[in-house]
């Protein structure tokens, strides 16, 4: 079964009771053709944005229903032949796809705060390597590159930032 939406405008020359009976006729036609009405809004008087068949207002109603595609033509013909229905349209409603949630900076920051810090993950028994500062007396061949540990960098950053 396919889901459809029928939107229609009934002539303002009718009373609100007549518009409701016309709505019930449409509902009975849908149900008579083995359709299932999912949602219905009763026709309400509305001012139109532009004149339709020389009418500036009308009774606006909507049906959302499920029906086999082959039986839809009977409902469309009934609405099309009715002179009191000024305008109508039948739309095919497609099912909604669930979209993936987008990442945002705020969520990433909150998740980062919830995770334990890098220092907490490292074992405390590690010995820090202290390298001698390079002096001018040493020749370039004998100079070893000083290894800087991540802990040292993090401590220096904490001292600088005052945390």
- Residue 132 domain-assigned (yes or no): no
Domain harbouring 87, CATH code: 3.30.70.60
Q: What value does the mean pLDDT take over residues 128-141?
A: 54
Q: Sorting pLDDT into bands at 50, 70 and 90, what band is 151?
A: confident
Number of domains in the chain: 1
Place of tokens 């033509």: 73
Position 147 scores a pLDDT of 73
Q: Which domain holds residue 51?
A: 2-93
- Residue 125 domain-assigned (yes or no): no
More confident residue, 162 or 80: 80
DSSP helix/strand/coil, 133: coil
- Residue 10 domain-assigned (yes or no): yes
- Residue 74 domain-assigned (yes or no): yes
Position 53 scores a pLDDT of 87
Tell me what the pLDDT averaged over the chain comes to.
81
Q: For residue range 47-103, what is the model confidence (pLDDT) as tens digits?
A: 988 888 888 899 999 999 999 999 999 999 999 999 999 999 999 988 777 777 777
Q: What is the DSSP string of 62-126?
A: EEEEEE-GGGHHHHHHHHHH-TTEEEEEEEEEPPPPPPPPPP-HHHHHHHHHHSPPHHHHS-TTP
- Residue 60 domain-assigned (yes or no): yes
- Residue 116 domain-assigned (yes or no): no
Asked if 56 contacts 40 with a C-beta cutoff of 8 angstroms, the reply is no
Asked if 38 contacts 70 with a C-beta cutoff of 8 angstroms, the reply is no
Rounded Cα distance between 158 and 9, Å, is: 69
- Residue 112 domain-assigned (yes or no): no
Rounded Cα distance between 106 and 113, Å, is: 11
- Residue 105 domain-assigned (yes or no): no
Residues in the chain: 163
Q: For residue range 97-128, what is the model confidence (pLDDT) as tens digits?
A: 777 777 777 666 666 666 655 555 555 555 55
Position 1 scores a pLDDT of 85
Q: Sorting pLDDT into bands at 50, 70 and 90, what band is 142?
A: low
């Amino acid at each position: 079964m396919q889901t459809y939406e029928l939107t229609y405008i009934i002539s303002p020359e009718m009373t609100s009771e007549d518009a409701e009976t016309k709505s019930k006729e449409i509902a009975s036609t849908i149900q008579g053709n083995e359709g299932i009405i999912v949602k219905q809004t009763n026709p309400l008087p509305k001012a139109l944005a532009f004149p339709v068949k020389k009418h500036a207002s009308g009774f606006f109603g909507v049906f959302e229903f499920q029906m086999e595609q082959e039986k839809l033509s009977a409902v469309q013909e009934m609405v099309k032949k009715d002179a009191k229905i000024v305008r109508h349209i039948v739309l095919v409603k497609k099912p909604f796809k669930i979209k993936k949630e987008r990442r945002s900076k705020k969520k990433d920051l909150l998740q980062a705060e919830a995770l334990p810090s890098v220092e907490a993950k490292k074992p405390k028994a590690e010995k820090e390597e202290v390298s001698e500062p390079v002096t001018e007396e040493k020749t370039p061949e004998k100079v070893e590159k000083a290894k800087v540990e991540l802990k040292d960098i993090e401590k220096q950053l904490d001292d600088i930032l005052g945390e």
